[in-house]
Chains A and B, each alone.
Chain A
Amino acid sequence: MPQISQLAATYSSQIFWMLVIFGAVFFLVGRGMAPKVLETMEGRDQKIAADLAAAEAARHEAQAQDDAWKAAAAKQRGEAQALIAAAKAEAAKAAEVRLAAAGADAEAKVAEAEARIAAARQGALAEIETVAAEAAADIAARVAGLTVAADAARAAVKDVLHG
Protein backbone atom coordinates (compact mmCIF):
# COMPACT_ATOMS: atom_id res chain seq x y z
CA MET A 1 0.00 0.00 0.00
CA PRO A 2 1.99 3.00 -1.26
CA GLN A 3 0.02 5.36 0.95
CA ILE A 4 1.76 3.82 3.97
CA SER A 5 4.97 2.39 2.53
CA GLN A 6 5.83 5.74 0.91
CA LEU A 7 4.58 7.79 3.83
CA ALA A 8 7.95 8.81 5.24
CA ALA A 9 9.33 9.76 1.84
CA THR A 10 6.33 11.66 0.46
CA TYR A 11 4.31 13.15 3.33
CA SER A 12 6.12 16.51 3.26
CA SER A 13 5.75 16.88 -0.48
CA GLN A 14 2.08 15.88 -0.34
CA ILE A 15 1.30 18.33 2.46
CA PHE A 16 3.31 21.13 0.86
CA TRP A 17 1.76 20.87 -2.58
CA MET A 18 -1.71 20.33 -1.16
CA LEU A 19 -1.41 23.53 0.88
CA VAL A 20 0.04 25.48 -2.04
CA ILE A 21 -2.44 24.31 -4.64
CA PHE A 22 -5.52 24.26 -2.42
CA GLY A 23 -4.48 27.66 -1.15
CA ALA A 24 -4.36 28.91 -4.72
CA VAL A 25 -7.76 27.36 -5.41
CA PHE A 26 -9.17 28.98 -2.26
CA PHE A 27 -7.90 32.45 -3.11
CA LEU A 28 -8.50 32.39 -6.85
CA VAL A 29 -11.69 30.35 -7.11
CA GLY A 30 -13.20 30.48 -3.62
CA ARG A 31 -12.55 34.13 -2.80
CA GLY A 32 -12.12 35.49 -6.29
CA MET A 33 -14.81 33.87 -8.38
CA ALA A 34 -17.50 32.23 -6.25
CA PRO A 35 -18.67 35.49 -4.59
CA LYS A 36 -18.91 37.14 -8.01
CA VAL A 37 -20.99 34.26 -9.31
CA LEU A 38 -23.26 34.60 -6.29
CA GLU A 39 -23.41 38.35 -6.83
CA THR A 40 -24.52 37.79 -10.40
CA MET A 41 -27.21 35.38 -9.25
CA GLU A 42 -28.43 37.80 -6.60
CA GLY A 43 -28.41 40.67 -9.06
CA ARG A 44 -30.53 38.61 -11.40
CA ASP A 45 -32.96 37.65 -8.63
CA GLN A 46 -33.25 41.29 -7.61
CA LYS A 47 -33.80 42.36 -11.20
CA ILE A 48 -36.53 39.78 -11.61
CA ALA A 49 -38.16 40.85 -8.35
CA ALA A 50 -37.93 44.53 -9.35
CA ASP A 51 -39.36 43.82 -12.79
CA LEU A 52 -42.21 41.87 -11.28
CA ALA A 53 -42.92 44.70 -8.84
CA ALA A 54 -42.83 47.22 -11.71
CA ALA A 55 -45.23 45.08 -13.73
CA GLU A 56 -47.53 44.81 -10.71
CA ALA A 57 -47.40 48.59 -10.20
CA ALA A 58 -48.14 49.16 -13.89
CA ARG A 59 -51.09 46.78 -13.64
CA HIS A 60 -52.43 48.72 -10.64
CA GLU A 61 -51.91 51.99 -12.50
CA ALA A 62 -53.77 50.66 -15.54
CA GLN A 63 -56.57 49.44 -13.28
CA ALA A 64 -56.82 52.83 -11.60
CA GLN A 65 -56.89 54.63 -14.96
CA ASP A 66 -59.53 52.25 -16.22
CA ASP A 67 -61.63 52.90 -13.12
CA ALA A 68 -61.17 56.67 -13.50
CA TRP A 69 -62.10 56.48 -17.17
CA LYS A 70 -65.21 54.44 -16.36
CA ALA A 71 -66.21 56.92 -13.67
CA ALA A 72 -65.69 59.87 -16.06
CA ALA A 73 -67.69 58.12 -18.76
CA ALA A 74 -70.53 57.41 -16.33
CA LYS A 75 -70.51 61.04 -15.20
CA GLN A 76 -70.54 62.35 -18.74
CA ARG A 77 -73.35 59.99 -19.66
CA GLY A 78 -75.33 61.28 -16.69
CA GLU A 79 -74.71 64.88 -17.73
CA ALA A 80 -75.76 64.16 -21.26
CA GLN A 81 -78.94 62.51 -20.07
CA ALA A 82 -79.68 65.47 -17.80
CA LEU A 83 -79.14 67.80 -20.77
CA ILE A 84 -81.50 65.75 -22.93
CA ALA A 85 -84.11 65.73 -20.20
CA ALA A 86 -83.81 69.50 -19.77
CA ALA A 87 -84.14 70.08 -23.49
CA LYS A 88 -87.14 67.79 -23.63
CA ALA A 89 -88.79 69.62 -20.72
CA GLU A 90 -88.11 72.99 -22.32
CA ALA A 91 -89.48 71.87 -25.66
CA ALA A 92 -92.56 70.48 -23.98
CA LYS A 93 -93.05 73.76 -22.11
CA ALA A 94 -92.69 75.84 -25.27
CA ALA A 95 -95.11 73.60 -27.09
CA GLU A 96 -97.58 73.95 -24.25
CA VAL A 97 -97.31 77.72 -24.27
CA ARG A 98 -97.86 77.87 -27.99
CA LEU A 99 -100.72 75.44 -27.76
CA ALA A 100 -102.26 77.53 -24.99
CA ALA A 101 -101.88 80.71 -27.04
CA ALA A 102 -103.37 79.09 -30.11
CA GLY A 103 -106.19 77.68 -28.00
CA ALA A 104 -106.93 81.05 -26.50
CA ASP A 105 -106.96 82.62 -29.93
CA ALA A 106 -109.30 79.99 -31.25
CA GLU A 107 -111.57 80.37 -28.23
CA ALA A 108 -111.67 84.10 -28.68
CA LYS A 109 -112.65 83.64 -32.31
CA VAL A 110 -115.31 81.08 -31.34
CA ALA A 111 -116.67 83.42 -28.67
CA GLU A 112 -116.77 86.30 -31.12
CA ALA A 113 -118.51 84.16 -33.67
CA GLU A 114 -120.98 82.97 -31.02
CA ALA A 115 -121.61 86.55 -30.01
CA ARG A 116 -122.23 87.47 -33.60
CA ILE A 117 -124.60 84.55 -33.98
CA ALA A 118 -126.42 85.56 -30.80
CA ALA A 119 -126.68 89.17 -31.97
CA ALA A 120 -127.96 88.02 -35.34
CA ARG A 121 -130.49 85.80 -33.66
CA GLN A 122 -131.56 88.63 -31.35
CA GLY A 123 -131.88 90.89 -34.30
CA ALA A 124 -133.85 88.27 -36.17
CA LEU A 125 -136.11 87.72 -33.16
CA ALA A 126 -136.74 91.39 -32.81
CA GLU A 127 -137.57 91.56 -36.49
CA ILE A 128 -139.94 88.63 -36.11
CA GLU A 129 -141.63 90.33 -33.12
CA THR A 130 -142.10 93.56 -35.04
CA VAL A 131 -143.41 91.73 -38.10
CA ALA A 132 -145.67 89.53 -35.90
CA ALA A 133 -147.00 92.58 -34.01
CA GLU A 134 -147.73 94.42 -37.25
CA ALA A 135 -149.28 91.33 -38.66
CA ALA A 136 -151.35 90.80 -35.47
CA ALA A 137 -152.48 94.44 -35.53
CA ASP A 138 -153.31 94.16 -39.20
CA ILE A 139 -155.20 90.92 -38.60
CA ALA A 140 -157.10 92.46 -35.67
CA ALA A 141 -158.07 95.53 -37.78
CA ARG A 142 -159.22 93.45 -40.72
CA VAL A 143 -161.08 90.76 -38.72
CA ALA A 144 -162.57 92.71 -35.81
CA GLY A 145 -162.14 96.24 -36.98
CA LEU A 146 -160.17 97.00 -33.95
CA THR A 147 -157.43 99.46 -33.98
CA VAL A 148 -154.72 98.09 -31.77
CA ALA A 149 -151.93 100.35 -30.72
CA ALA A 150 -148.54 99.20 -31.94
CA ASP A 151 -147.15 98.97 -28.43
CA ALA A 152 -150.04 96.79 -27.21
CA ALA A 153 -149.68 94.55 -30.18
CA ARG A 154 -145.92 94.17 -29.55
CA ALA A 155 -146.55 93.34 -25.88
CA ALA A 156 -149.15 90.75 -26.77
CA VAL A 157 -146.88 89.16 -29.37
CA LYS A 158 -143.98 89.09 -26.88
CA ASP A 159 -146.30 87.49 -24.41
CA VAL A 160 -147.25 84.75 -26.83
CA LEU A 161 -143.69 84.23 -28.19
CA HIS A 162 -141.99 83.97 -24.80
CA GLY A 163 -144.83 81.96 -23.17
Chain B
Amino acid sequence: MATEAKVDPMHQFTIEPLFGTDHWALGGFNIAFTNSALWMLISAVVLYAFMLGGMKRELVPGRWQMMVESMTGFIENMLSANVGKEGRKYLPYVFSLFMFILFANLLGLLPLGLVGLHPFTFTSHFTATGVLAILSFAIVLVVGFYKHGLHFFSLFVPHGTPLPMIPLIFVIELVSFLVRPFSLGLRLFVAMMAGHVLLEVLSSFVIGGANAGAFFMGLVSIPSFILMVAICALEILVAGIQAYVFALLTSLYINDAEHLH
Protein backbone atom coordinates (compact mmCIF):
# COMPACT_ATOMS: atom_id res chain seq x y z
CA MET B 1 0.00 0.00 0.00
CA ALA B 2 1.49 3.25 -1.10
CA THR B 3 0.15 5.90 1.22
CA GLU B 4 -1.91 5.35 4.33
CA ALA B 5 -5.38 6.84 3.89
CA LYS B 6 -5.52 9.70 6.38
CA VAL B 7 -8.88 11.21 7.29
CA ASP B 8 -8.76 14.30 9.44
CA PRO B 9 -12.29 14.69 10.91
CA MET B 10 -11.58 18.35 11.70
CA HIS B 11 -10.46 19.34 8.23
CA GLN B 12 -14.05 19.82 7.08
CA PHE B 13 -14.36 22.86 9.36
CA THR B 14 -11.37 24.67 7.88
CA ILE B 15 -12.21 28.11 6.59
CA GLU B 16 -10.55 29.02 3.33
CA PRO B 17 -10.73 32.35 1.56
CA LEU B 18 -12.12 31.91 -1.94
CA PHE B 19 -11.57 33.65 -5.25
CA GLY B 20 -8.42 35.40 -4.03
CA THR B 21 -10.31 37.63 -1.63
CA ASP B 22 -8.11 36.93 1.40
CA HIS B 23 -6.70 40.47 1.35
CA TRP B 24 -10.17 42.09 1.56
CA ALA B 25 -10.38 44.25 4.63
CA LEU B 26 -12.77 46.73 6.19
CA GLY B 27 -11.41 49.17 8.76
CA GLY B 28 -8.39 46.98 9.32
CA PHE B 29 -10.45 43.84 9.78
CA ASN B 30 -10.17 40.99 7.34
CA ILE B 31 -13.43 40.28 5.53
CA ALA B 32 -12.29 37.67 3.04
CA PHE B 33 -15.11 35.92 1.20
CA THR B 34 -14.57 32.42 2.56
CA ASN B 35 -16.17 29.07 1.93
CA SER B 36 -18.19 29.79 5.08
CA ALA B 37 -19.51 33.04 3.61
CA LEU B 38 -20.21 31.22 0.35
CA TRP B 39 -22.43 28.70 2.13
CA MET B 40 -24.17 31.46 4.04
CA LEU B 41 -24.90 33.02 0.65
CA ILE B 42 -26.04 29.68 -0.79
CA SER B 43 -28.35 29.13 2.19
CA ALA B 44 -29.77 32.61 1.78
CA VAL B 45 -30.30 32.16 -1.97
CA VAL B 46 -31.90 28.75 -1.56
CA LEU B 47 -34.12 30.11 1.21
CA TYR B 48 -35.09 33.03 -1.03
CA ALA B 49 -35.90 30.65 -3.87
CA PHE B 50 -37.92 28.46 -1.51
CA MET B 51 -39.93 31.45 -0.34
CA LEU B 52 -40.37 32.72 -3.88
CA GLY B 53 -42.21 29.49 -4.70
CA GLY B 54 -44.72 30.34 -1.97
CA MET B 55 -45.42 33.87 -3.11
CA LYS B 56 -48.06 33.02 -5.70
CA ARG B 57 -50.61 33.95 -3.03
CA GLU B 58 -53.31 31.74 -4.47
CA LEU B 59 -56.55 31.16 -2.63
CA VAL B 60 -56.15 27.43 -3.11
CA PRO B 61 -52.45 26.78 -2.48
CA GLY B 62 -50.34 24.43 -4.52
CA ARG B 63 -47.87 22.05 -2.88
CA TRP B 64 -45.02 24.51 -2.80
CA GLN B 65 -47.12 27.33 -1.47
CA MET B 66 -48.50 24.87 1.09
CA MET B 67 -44.94 24.08 2.29
CA VAL B 68 -44.02 27.74 2.63
CA GLU B 69 -47.28 28.47 4.39
CA SER B 70 -46.93 25.58 6.81
CA MET B 71 -43.43 26.80 7.72
CA THR B 72 -44.66 30.34 8.25
CA GLY B 73 -47.70 29.10 10.15
CA PHE B 74 -45.47 26.92 12.31
CA ILE B 75 -43.35 29.90 13.45
CA GLU B 76 -46.46 32.05 13.82
CA ASN B 77 -48.04 29.40 16.07
CA MET B 78 -44.87 29.07 18.09
CA LEU B 79 -44.73 32.82 18.64
CA SER B 80 -48.39 33.19 19.52
CA ALA B 81 -48.15 30.22 21.92
CA ASN B 82 -45.01 31.49 23.65
CA VAL B 83 -45.26 35.26 23.42
CA GLY B 84 -48.96 35.88 22.79
CA LYS B 85 -50.37 38.49 20.46
CA GLU B 86 -47.28 40.69 20.83
CA GLY B 87 -45.30 37.84 19.28
CA ARG B 88 -46.52 38.85 15.84
CA LYS B 89 -44.03 41.64 15.42
CA TYR B 90 -41.09 39.29 16.04
CA LEU B 91 -42.19 36.95 13.27
CA PRO B 92 -39.83 38.38 10.62
CA TYR B 93 -36.81 37.91 12.89
CA VAL B 94 -37.68 34.49 14.33
CA PHE B 95 -38.80 33.19 10.94
CA SER B 96 -35.58 34.34 9.25
CA LEU B 97 -33.57 32.84 12.09
CA PHE B 98 -35.31 29.47 11.96
CA MET B 99 -35.30 29.13 8.20
CA PHE B 100 -31.73 30.36 7.78
CA ILE B 101 -30.38 27.93 10.39
CA LEU B 102 -32.54 25.10 9.07
CA PHE B 103 -31.38 25.59 5.50
CA ALA B 104 -27.75 25.98 6.59
CA ASN B 105 -27.90 22.75 8.62
CA LEU B 106 -29.60 20.79 5.87
CA LEU B 107 -27.44 22.11 3.04
CA GLY B 108 -24.34 21.27 5.08
CA LEU B 109 -25.50 17.66 5.14
CA LEU B 110 -25.84 17.37 1.36
CA PRO B 111 -23.64 14.57 0.01
CA LEU B 112 -21.96 16.92 -2.46
CA GLY B 113 -18.63 15.17 -1.88
CA LEU B 114 -19.88 12.64 -4.41
CA VAL B 115 -19.56 15.24 -7.17
CA GLY B 116 -16.32 16.71 -5.86
CA LEU B 117 -17.75 19.72 -4.02
CA HIS B 118 -17.21 20.31 -0.35
CA PRO B 119 -20.31 21.32 1.61
CA PHE B 120 -19.53 23.56 4.52
CA THR B 121 -21.78 23.86 7.58
CA PHE B 122 -21.23 27.36 8.87
CA THR B 123 -23.52 26.62 11.85
CA SER B 124 -20.66 24.45 13.11
CA HIS B 125 -18.67 27.63 13.79
CA PHE B 126 -19.34 29.50 17.00
CA THR B 127 -18.29 32.72 15.30
CA ALA B 128 -21.37 32.35 13.09
CA THR B 129 -23.83 30.97 15.66
CA GLY B 130 -22.50 33.48 18.19
CA VAL B 131 -23.55 36.37 15.96
CA LEU B 132 -27.11 34.99 15.81
CA ALA B 133 -27.15 34.31 19.56
CA ILE B 134 -25.94 37.82 20.37
CA LEU B 135 -28.53 39.26 17.98
CA SER B 136 -31.30 37.39 19.81
CA PHE B 137 -29.92 38.43 23.18
CA ALA B 138 -29.60 42.04 22.07
CA ILE B 139 -33.23 42.04 20.94
CA VAL B 140 -34.24 40.70 24.36
CA LEU B 141 -32.24 43.40 26.15
CA VAL B 142 -33.48 46.21 23.93
CA VAL B 143 -37.13 45.14 24.12
CA GLY B 144 -36.89 44.48 27.88
CA PHE B 145 -35.35 47.81 28.80
CA TYR B 146 -37.44 49.72 26.26
CA LYS B 147 -40.73 48.27 27.51
CA HIS B 148 -40.04 48.03 31.22
CA GLY B 149 -37.10 50.36 31.92
CA LEU B 150 -35.22 49.48 35.07
CA HIS B 151 -38.20 47.41 36.14
CA PHE B 152 -36.78 44.80 33.76
CA PHE B 153 -34.46 43.78 36.60
CA SER B 154 -37.46 42.33 38.41
CA LEU B 155 -37.08 39.49 35.90
CA PHE B 156 -34.30 38.26 38.17
CA VAL B 157 -36.52 38.13 41.26
CA PRO B 158 -39.27 35.54 40.80
CA HIS B 159 -42.61 36.19 42.48
CA GLY B 160 -42.85 34.97 46.05
CA THR B 161 -39.14 34.95 46.77
CA PRO B 162 -38.63 35.35 50.53
CA LEU B 163 -36.93 38.64 51.36
CA PRO B 164 -33.65 37.21 52.74
CA MET B 165 -33.30 35.07 49.63
CA ILE B 166 -33.62 37.96 47.17
CA PRO B 167 -29.90 38.90 46.88
CA LEU B 168 -28.88 35.31 46.32
CA ILE B 169 -31.69 34.54 43.86
CA PHE B 170 -30.98 37.78 42.03
CA VAL B 171 -27.36 36.79 41.47
CA ILE B 172 -28.29 33.27 40.37
CA GLU B 173 -30.98 34.50 37.98
CA LEU B 174 -28.68 37.18 36.62
CA VAL B 175 -25.96 34.64 35.89
CA SER B 176 -28.44 32.27 34.28
CA PHE B 177 -29.71 35.18 32.17
CA LEU B 178 -26.24 36.24 31.11
CA VAL B 179 -25.33 32.68 30.16
CA ARG B 180 -28.20 32.59 27.64
CA PRO B 181 -26.36 33.92 24.58
CA PHE B 182 -23.51 31.50 25.19
CA SER B 183 -25.76 28.48 25.65
CA LEU B 184 -27.81 29.54 22.63
CA GLY B 185 -24.82 29.87 20.32
CA LEU B 186 -22.78 26.99 21.68
CA ARG B 187 -25.67 24.51 21.60
CA LEU B 188 -26.12 24.86 17.85
CA PHE B 189 -22.39 24.91 17.14
CA VAL B 190 -21.69 21.83 19.30
CA ALA B 191 -24.61 19.83 17.95
CA MET B 192 -23.69 20.47 14.34
CA MET B 193 -19.97 19.93 14.86
CA ALA B 194 -20.46 16.73 16.84
CA GLY B 195 -22.65 15.21 14.12
CA HIS B 196 -20.24 16.07 11.34
CA VAL B 197 -17.21 14.82 13.30
CA LEU B 198 -19.01 11.59 14.08
CA LEU B 199 -19.83 11.02 10.41
CA GLU B 200 -16.25 11.77 9.44
CA VAL B 201 -14.80 9.44 12.10
CA LEU B 202 -17.11 6.64 11.02
CA SER B 203 -16.19 7.20 7.37
CA SER B 204 -12.51 6.95 8.32
CA PHE B 205 -13.37 3.59 9.93
CA VAL B 206 -15.03 2.48 6.70
CA ILE B 207 -12.02 3.49 4.59
CA GLY B 208 -9.45 2.17 7.05
CA GLY B 209 -11.26 -1.14 7.44
CA ALA B 210 -11.58 -1.58 3.69
CA ASN B 211 -7.88 -0.87 3.23
CA ALA B 212 -6.95 -3.41 5.91
CA GLY B 213 -8.39 -6.37 4.01
CA ALA B 214 -11.59 -8.34 3.63
CA PHE B 215 -11.74 -9.49 7.26
CA PHE B 216 -11.59 -5.98 8.72
CA MET B 217 -13.92 -4.76 6.04
CA GLY B 218 -16.54 -7.20 7.25
CA LEU B 219 -15.77 -6.59 10.91
CA VAL B 220 -15.41 -2.78 10.88
CA SER B 221 -16.36 -1.17 7.60
CA ILE B 222 -19.78 -2.67 7.03
CA PRO B 223 -21.13 -2.09 10.57
CA SER B 224 -19.67 1.43 10.50
CA PHE B 225 -21.31 2.09 7.16
CA ILE B 226 -24.68 0.89 8.44
CA LEU B 227 -24.25 3.09 11.50
CA MET B 228 -23.38 6.03 9.25
CA VAL B 229 -26.61 5.64 7.33
CA ALA B 230 -28.57 5.67 10.58
CA ILE B 231 -26.62 8.66 11.88
CA CYS B 232 -27.21 10.54 8.65
CA ALA B 233 -30.93 10.16 9.29
CA LEU B 234 -30.38 11.30 12.86
CA GLU B 235 -28.40 14.30 11.64
CA ILE B 236 -31.27 15.39 9.43
CA LEU B 237 -33.46 15.25 12.51
CA VAL B 238 -30.88 17.18 14.54
CA ALA B 239 -30.66 19.80 11.80
CA GLY B 240 -34.38 20.47 12.21
CA ILE B 241 -34.39 20.19 15.98
CA GLN B 242 -31.48 22.57 16.50
CA ALA B 243 -33.04 25.18 14.25
CA TYR B 244 -36.31 24.74 16.15
CA VAL B 245 -34.59 24.94 19.54
CA PHE B 246 -32.79 28.12 18.53
CA ALA B 247 -36.03 29.73 17.39
CA LEU B 248 -38.00 28.40 20.37
CA LEU B 249 -35.50 29.66 22.94
CA THR B 250 -35.34 33.02 21.19
CA SER B 251 -39.12 33.30 21.38
CA LEU B 252 -39.09 32.25 25.07
CA TYR B 253 -36.48 34.91 25.84
CA ILE B 254 -38.51 37.46 23.91
CA ASN B 255 -41.50 36.43 26.01
CA ASP B 256 -39.46 37.20 29.16
CA ALA B 257 -38.62 40.60 27.75
CA GLU B 258 -42.24 41.31 26.80
CA HIS B 259 -43.98 40.03 29.91
CA LEU B 260 -41.19 39.70 32.52
CA HIS B 261 -42.72 36.56 33.99
Contact = CB atoms under 8 A, between A and B. Distances in A.
Given A3-B193, A12-B29, A21 B40 contact: yes
B69 A18 contact: no
Of A3, A26, A39, chain B has the most CB atoms within 10 Å of the CB of A3
B100 A22 contact: yes
A9 B30 contact: yes
B47 A25 contact: yes
A70 interface: no
Interface stretch (B111-119, B122-130, B219-227, B237-245): B122-130
Contacts of B128: 14, 18
Interface residues of B, number: 54
Interface residues on A, range: 35 or more
Interface in A35-82: 35-41, 43-44, 47
A1 B47 contact: no
Interface string B83-122: 0000000011101100110000000000000000000001
Contact of B76 (A9, A38, A40): A38
A29 B48 contact: yes
Nearest to B94: A30
* Most chain A beta carbons < 10 A, residue from B14, B44, B193: B44
12 contacts: A3-B13, A6-B14, A13-B32, A22-B44, A25-B44, A29-B44, A29-B47, A35-B92, A37-B55, A37-B68, A38-B73, A47-B59
